[in-house]
Chains A and B, each alone.
Chain A
Amino acid sequence: MALIRVEHVDKSFASRHGSIAIMQDITFEVKDSDFLAIVGPSGCGKSTLLRLIQGLDRPTAGAISFRGQPVAGVCTQMAMVFQSFALYPWLTVSQNVAFGLEALEWPKEKIGSQVERYISVTGLDGFQEAYPRELSGGMRQRVGLARALAVEPAVLLMDEPFSALDALTAESLREEILQLWRDPALPPEAVILVTHNIEEAIQLADRVIVLSRRPGHVLETIDVDLPRPRDRKSGPFYDLTDRIYSLITQGGAPLPPPSGADGRSAS
């Protein structure tokens, strides 16, 4: 059974000028232990798609299911990591990591050890008492990661998690995500990464879903069958980058709009 199934999902938002289609007819599956990347130009609905998958928002049409059950309301088997880290500045690192567990009403006596475990797993030992403002960007995103993993999600959703970080820090965290994903003793089983960075998608993912510009639809799903760590300067890597880049820049012709109302494309 697929872990996640997204079937013919449309999403549009109402505006003063009528309904604006964000995405159309999106269909794909996420299998157990998948590392899936979703790339596409800005405004194609990548982040909205993640929100729909987690159940933070509902599709206008189509269906999303998790382990065969329709996603209705926020799915607690998934956790999100954000570009902006989304930490509470008035809470310490430990308290930030504990926050999700408290929200899920974990028993108090279990929260402490769970927090310790995920602080350690993400390399945050020594910063338990620190406040986010005392941390570098890389350390802040580790807190975001620890908080997400502490609830032991089956699926980790990542929305441009590295794009606010300097290049070396991002390189380090990308590789750590792979480590965590590959470790059978640790969550998550599957990762869905949304990024506008094509190289990043190819570097990390098993499969890359390429979305068109708005209204986003799936242009192609590309398998990345290269051994890790992947050499960005290798021929096959370069070919994939080139192919996805061409898809996005040329193949982005929108589907014919279902009604006359949409039309206002991103550029």
Chain B
Amino acid sequence: MGESSDATVPTIFPKSSPTELLGLLVLLNGHKGSEDVARLADDLDLEIDEIFPSLEYAELLQLVKVTDGRASFTELGQKLVAGSIRERKSILREQLRRTTLFKTIVRALESAPNHQLSDEDLAQIVSLTTAPADEAVQNIVNWGRYAELFRYDAEAHRLILSKPAASSRSGSGRTPPTTGATPPGPPGSARKSNPPPPETRGAGVVPAAA
């Protein structure tokens, strides 16, 4: 629907909150990590379309795979639910950083004057030209704050780039700090856990008739 197919423009925005998405993962974990999507929804007396936004985003973040209407954890999703609240958050953060959407926003913040952007700038940058832009902006801001990619001044409606963690280390080290630059990906075995950036895959996240 009017969305660009250019791979550098983000086309998928979070439509649920981090806590809702975590709730879906917890729910799936209660079903031993694999369950029919309709039954998952039914478990909480919800309609499928009420869990769909979280499911879609969980799939984008490569935590869940949906095949033939059945949701299953990826290895990373399994690792996430096995972790503490803090560990879960850091996995979400790493995954979020790798999405086209948040890469685009961080790049824009890095190049912007004072490393700041307004709500309107954000809406433009991510091509939010259609109707409920407010809600989309709010969700994006919510996730970005959650992942500590940027801070947000709600009075001024401005996103402010978070300082890279490296700046707090002021040692005389000769080796340049490794943080702050694009991370090589989540730690762990490169063989298993480094799939390509999420949005390069097809847009059809879940079979519509699930």
Contacts and interface: CB of A to CB of B under 8 A. Distances in A.
B44 interface: yes
Contacts of B31: 231
Contact of A138 (B20, B46, B84, B151): B20
Interface of A: 120-123, 125-127, 129-131, 134, 136, 138-139, 142, 166-176, 179-180, 183, 229-233
9 contacts: A122-B85, A125-B148, A131-B154, A134-B154, A136-B17, A168-B50, A172-B19, A172-B22, A179-B84
A170 B19 CA distance: 9
A168 B24 contact: yes
Contacts of A176: 85
Contact of A126 (B20, B146, B154): B146
Given A127-B145, A134-B154, A168-B27, A233 B43 contact: yes
Given A121-B85, A134-B152, A172-B19, 9 more contacts: A126-B145, A167-B46, A168-B46, A171-B23, A180-B85, A229-B29, A230-B30, A231-B30, A231-B31
Contacts, number: 85
Contact of A167 (B23, B89, B151): B23
B30 A168 contact: no
A232 B43 contact: yes
B26 A171 contact: yes
By Cβ-Cβ distance, the 10 closest A-B pairs, closest first, are A138-B19, A168-B23, A172-B23, A171-B23, A172-B22, A168-B20, A167-B44, A126-B148, A175-B26, A229-B30
A169 B86 contact: no
B95 interface: no
Contacts of B27: 168, 171
Nearest to A173: B19
A126 to B, nearest CB: 4
Contacts of A175: 26
Given A126-B145, A126-B147, A130-B154, A169 B20 contact: yes
Contacts of A173: 19, 23
A120 B88 CA distance: 12
Nearest to A127: B145
B45 interface: yes
Interface in B141-162: 142, 145-148, 151-152, 154
B54 interface: yes
Nearest to A131: B154
Given A168-B27, A172-B20, A129 B151 contact: yes
Contact of B23 (A139, A170, A180, A183): A170
Contact of A121 (B19, B23, B86, B146): B86
